[in-house]
Amino acid sequence: MDSSQVIREVEQRCRQRGLRLTPTRRRVLELVLSADGPVKAYDLLDQLKAEQPNAAPPTVYRALEFLLENHFIHRLESLNAFVSCFHPAESHQGQFLICDECQAVIEIHEPGLTRNLSEAAEHEGFHPDRQVLEIYGLCSACYEARRS
């Protein structure tokens, strides 16, 4: 799904849920979508300040919070960075493959894995409210480059 499709899907979801996709929220989403990889909040702030000189950290953090709460983006916990979600129509937990070499991030969607982890946690009396699974290694391009 390309960025414009994601934006249209997010707009549709907001209309269906009665949410406001303000111009700042939309712009932060566009910046996350256009990033080459995971992007940090202060990098987003720097980009936003180029367009809106009065932008402050709370502006970006509030927009990120809205986008996260509504599953329009994902937060990579170990990197403290954000990546776009290319399945905004589907409620799901984040599962990511992160390349140690080039920092490429691939989102995978394995509902069975999410279900199994939730069941294992509940078996231990733990009640999860979110999951972020991050798997580190080498993407296929970096793996092949190392082998050569």
Q: Report the topology of domain 94-147.
A: Dna Ligase; domain 1 (3.30.1490)
Q: In whole numbers, what is the pLDDT of the chain averaged over residues?
A: 92
**Residue 109, pLDDT score:** 84
Is pLDDT larger for residue 93 or for residue 115?
A: 115
Task: Report the pLDDT averaged over residues 13-36.
Answer: 95
How many Cβ atoms are within 10 Å of 105's Cβ, its own excluded?
A: 21
Distance of alpha carbon 72 from alpha carbon 63, whole angstroms: 11
Reduced to 3 states (helix: H, G, I; strand: E, B; else coil), residue 44 is helix
**Closest to 72 measured CA to CA, from 113, 122, 14, 132:** 14
**Residue 98, pLDDT score:** 95
pLDDT tens figures, 49-95: 999 999 999 999 999 999 999 989 999 999 999 998 877 667 677 79
Distance of alpha carbon 118 from alpha carbon 107, whole angstroms: 19
- For the chain, residues classed under CATH 1.10.10.10 are 3-84
- For the chain, residues classed under CATH 3.30.1490.190 are 94-147
Give Cα 47 to chain centroid, integer Å. Answer: 18
Task: Report the pLDDT averaged over residues 97-108.
Answer: 92
**135, pLDDT greater than 90:** yes
Helix axes 41-51, 57-69, angle to 10 degrees: 120
Distance of alpha carbon 53 from alpha carbon 138, whole angstroms: 39
From the annotation, which residues make up the binding site for Zn(2+)? Answer: 99, 102, 139, 142
Percent of the chain past pLDDT 70, that is, above it, reads 96
Choosing among 3.30.70.141, 1.10.10.10, 3.90.1170.40, 3.40.50.150, the CATH entry for 3-84 is 1.10.10.10
pLDDT band at 129 (very low <50, low <70, confident <90, very high): confident
Distance of alpha carbon 23 from alpha carbon 114, whole angstroms: 33
From the annotation, which residues make up the binding site? Answer: 99, 102, 139, 142
